[in-house]
Amino acid sequence: MDFERVDMDLMTEEELQESFRQSQLLFKLNHTMPMTPEYDEVLKELMGDNLGENSRIMAPLSGAALDKLVVGNNVFINSNCLAMARGGITIEDDVMLAANVQLLSNNHDEYNRNVLLCKPIHIKKGAWIGAGVSILPGVTIGEYAIIGAGAIVTKDVGDYEVAVGVPAKVVKTLDKEKF
């Protein structure tokens, strides 16, 4: 899969305004009492229709291009998530992300740092992402897969696989009959 190239110097006025709006909403979200109707309203304004039912995102949240972040139903995202979503991030139903997870769907061109190289991240149903994990551009995490705390995921992890380490390596496969 090739990277999609996004030249940040060529952003339209509308794209810039949307970026400012999202930054302001992130600030507001991160300074609103959690587990309140006001918090839920700000989160809904930020995420629009891209936040599934019974899903919870804990503050603080940071990132960019959050209009390209799609969160399914019954998802829990713990505090300090960084979602760099320019390349697209899809989180399916029943996923759990522990604290300090980084979802990095874009990187910078080596020679022109204002050019982003983007590939989507896809986290499939029931996956569990441990604390401090970084998932890099273009990675798919399979159904019910587990990524151990502190891992840096540079390659796809299959359904029911457990991956740990830097870079993440698969160490076992779970019994799918137990789910």
| pLDDT of res. 117 | 97
Q: What is the mean pLDDT of residues 27-34?
A: 97
Active-site residue, 122 included: no
Query: Which residues 6+ apart lie within 8 Å of 10 measured at CB?
Result: none
pLDDT of res. 113: 95
Residue 140 binned pLDDT confidence (cut-offs 50, 70, 90) = very high
Domain boundaries, the chain: 5-171
**So what's the pLDDT on residue 1?**
61
pLDDT, the chain, mean: 97
Query: Which segments of the chain does DSSP mark as H helices, in order?
Result: 13-30, 37-47
Q: Which class does domain 5-171 fall in? A: mainly beta
Single out the catalytic residue among 5, 21, 31, 108: 108
- Measured in whole angstroms, the distance separating CA 140 from the mean position of its chain's CA atoms is 11
> Would you place residue 33 in the very low, low, confident or very high pLDDT band (cuts 50, 70, 90)?
very high
- Cα separation, 67 vs 53, in Å, equals 17
pTM above 0.75, yes or no: yes
| pLDDT band (50, 70, 90) for residue 111 | very high
Q: Is 132 left (phi over 0), alpha (psi -120 to 50) or beta?
A: left
